Structure 1
Amino acid sequence: MELIVALAIGVLTASGIWLLLRPRTFQVIIGLSLISYAVNLFIFAMGRLRLGAPPVLVDAGVGDPGLYDDPLPQALVLTAIVISFAMTALFLVVLLASRGLTGTDHVDGRERR
């Protein structure tokens, strides 16, 4: 399980960096989104990968914290998803405005000759 999650984080990060280096603005936005997904997955994985564990304490007494999932990374990832969605929407609006003003979607504003 840990190997699959580590590979997924690596593939998302590598794809995001590759897209960040592309000359088109839309590809840069998609690259930023992939990197944010990789960071979210990394934060989520830091809260321990356990299958079938209850998320919170069930009994009122003191329990062994090693048997339960940590809810803090889940809350951080949920907040990060909302923020990255708003950031992507803002970038797309800026992309459309820039394309309308310059007539191209290149990062530097000019087509190759």
Structure 2
Amino acid sequence: MVKSVEADGKAVSWFRTDDYFYYSQGIAAGMKAMLIAIREDFSDVLIKMQAMEATDQAIIWTTRATEIHPLIVLDGSGGSIFANHRANLAAPIAHARFYVEVMIKAVTAGRTG
């Protein structure tokens, strides 16, 4: 999502920046929907395996990722006055991914233990 070079070796174009941003935001929305369904359908298992808190945190972070709505998607560098919206979106997605991994480990450990 925050790659700076395309597969052909060229820098990511400003015209492609918003494509990557909205694609990633769509993935976050899909993750959120699945996590909410998992929370509803498997709440008894998540509570038993002590994975409910991690699930809730993953839902919170995917929600935050879907709530970023820049007027124009910018791709500024570290020292720039322009925002880097893809990097700003990467943070909540990374947090959500971490909590999904915690949830998976808790359920897996509970199943084998």
Which is higher, the Rg of structure 1 or of structure 2? Answer: 1
State the TM-score bracket (shorter-chain normalisation): 0.3 to 0.5
TM-score, with length taken from structure 1: 0.43
TM-score w.r.t. structure 2 length? 0.43
Structure with the larger RCO, 1 or 2 (CA within 8 Å, 6+ apart) = 2
